[in-house]
């Protein structure tokens, strides 16, 4: 029994080596084909796809009951579904709200927006850290802090001018229609 813990023959090692190389190369090819969005920002949706790809990769490498063809089929399906959803998000702004949350204004003209902060589970310390990270020492220097869909904070110093970059912020009069592809 103990001898199989460390070595159970050459066949399992060869199978692991071959399946690792084949699935690794196929995964790299599929990711290159699918484009950078697959592994870009870590929206919840993207994280799920990435974790699922990793899980399938590990399963295909280590599970002798699953063929390389099955793992490749799973890769193709996951990346295909991710492509379809991201394509749909670009063409139907309502789908974007389902897949990725809308950005949320959490500080406006130096004042915290308590309701938005509670809804997004963001503390004042988080916002202050983001301000410091962007080089601001005072809340009054900041026109807006936005919690983006990927969890990053955008800090806007001045809200003068056309502010077209804020067209998708509902609290500033923006709409979800600003998320559509052109």
Task: Mark whether 93 and 168 lie in a shared domain.
Answer: no
Q: Where a domain ends, among 97, 117, 134?
A: 97
SS3 155: strand
- Report the alpha-carbon distance of residue 11 to residue 32 in Å, rounded: 32
pLDDT over 80 (residue 9): no
Q: Give the pLDDT confidence of 141-173 residue by residue, as tens digits.
A: 999 999 987 788 999 988 887 777 777 777 777
Task: Mark whether 8 and 55 lie in a shared domain.
Answer: yes
Task: Mark whether 13 and 71 lie in a shared domain.
Answer: yes
Instruction: Flag the least confident range among 19-28, 134-143, 162-171.
Output: 162-171
Our count of domains for the chain comes to: 2
Q: Where a domain ends, among 39, 66, 97?
A: 97
- Report the alpha-carbon distance of residue 147 to residue 176 in Å, rounded: 15
Task: Mark whether 70 and 123 lie in a shared domain.
Answer: no
Task: Mark whether 78 and 17 lie in a shared domain.
Answer: yes
- Report the alpha-carbon distance of residue 62 to residue 68 in Å, rounded: 11
Task: Mark whether 6 and 93 lie in a shared domain.
Answer: yes
Hey, what are 92's tokens?
A: 């139907």
- Tell me what the mean pLDDT of segment 108-117 comes to: 93
Task: Mark whether 142 and 87 lie in a shared domain.
Answer: no
Task: Mark whether 81 and 113 lie in a shared domain.
Answer: no
Residues 78, 83, 89: CA angle, nearest 5 degrees: 125
- The domain in which residue 160 lies consists of 102-179
């Amino acid at each position: 029994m103990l001898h199989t813990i460390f070595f159970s023959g050459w066949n399992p090692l060869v199978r692991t080596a071959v399946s690792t190389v084949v699935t690794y190369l196929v995964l790299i090819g599929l990711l290159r084909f699918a484009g950078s969005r697959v592994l870009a920002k870590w929206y919840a949706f993207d994280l799920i796809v990435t974790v699922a790809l990793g899980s399938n990769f590990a399963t295909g490498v280590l599970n002798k009951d699953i063929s390389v063809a099955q793992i490749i089929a799973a890769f193709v399906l996951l990346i295909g579904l991710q492509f379809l959803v991201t394509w749909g998000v670009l063409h139907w702004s309502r789908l974007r709200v389902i897949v990725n949350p809308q950005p949320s204004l959490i500080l406006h003209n130096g004042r915290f927006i308590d309701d938005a902060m509670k809804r997004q589970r963001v503390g004042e310390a988080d916002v202050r850290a983001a301000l410091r990270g962007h080089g601001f020492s005072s809340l009054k220097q900041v026109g807006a802090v936005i919690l983006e869909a990927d969890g990053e904070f955008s800090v806007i110093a001045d809200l003068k001018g056309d502010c077209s970059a804020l067209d998708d912020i509902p609290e500033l009069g923006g709409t979800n229609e600003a998320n559509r592809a052109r």
